[in-house]
């Protein structure tokens, strides 16, 4: 085998060294992985497809805990206390991407409740401001009376 070429242990082809990732375990040494980039990519795609639901659930739980300050057990507890529905409108379906949202106070990062996609978006658009929400209610009531 000529210098600068390696044999992929997965597909058995002899390829240029640039077709192999550097071994990450010891970045100071210039070792290459035994599988070529194409074989690694195929292996990763198969793994992601077979573990999609597990990985998605872990990602969602991580984001809730880090961004919305809602640990998984608290989220489940709040949703159960709300009988599995949105805290504002009572929707049984989450809408959006299919999962309920962890709502929190943006000023204090205190967890509040679990909302459907529409109610979560609505609170965001009203900037969590009760005065703006009250103005919206008055506006809607004004035009309800006209009918």
Same domain, 99 and 140: yes
Same domain, 26 and 96: no
Report CA-CA distances (Å) from 124 to 11, 16, 107, 133, 145: 51, 52, 13, 11, 28
57 belongs to a structural domain? no
Same domain, 13 and 82: no
84 belongs to a structural domain? yes
Q: What is the pTM of this model?
A: 0.62
What span, in angstroms and rounded, lies between the C-alpha atoms of 60 and 146?
A: 45
127 lies in which domain range? 68-146
Same domain, 122 and 75: yes
Same domain, 33 and 74: no
The whole-number pLDDT of residue 75 equals: 93
pLDDT confidence bin for 27, thresholds 50/70/90:
low
The whole-number pLDDT of residue 2 equals: 76
Supply the CATH number for residue 119's domain. Answer: 3.40.1800.10
């Amino acid at each position: 085998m000529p210098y600068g070429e390696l044999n992929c242990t997965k597909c058995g082809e002899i390829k240029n060294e640039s077709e192999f990732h550097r071994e990450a375990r010891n970045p100071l040494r210039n070792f290459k992985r035994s599988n070529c980039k194409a074989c690694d990519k195929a292996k990763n795609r198969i793994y992601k497809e077979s573990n999609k639901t597990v990985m998605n659930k872990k990602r969602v739980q991580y984001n809730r805990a880090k961004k919305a300050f809602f640990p998984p057990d608290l989220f489940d507890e709040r949703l159960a206390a709300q009988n599995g529905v949105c805290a504002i409108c009572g929707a049984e379906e989450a809408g959006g991407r299919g999962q309920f949202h962890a709502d929190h106070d943006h000023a204090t990062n205190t967890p509040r409740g679990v909302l459907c996609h529409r109610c979560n978006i609505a609170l965001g658009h009203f900037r969590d401001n009760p005065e703006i929400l009250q103005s919206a209610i008055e506006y809607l009531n004004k035009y309800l009376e006209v009918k």
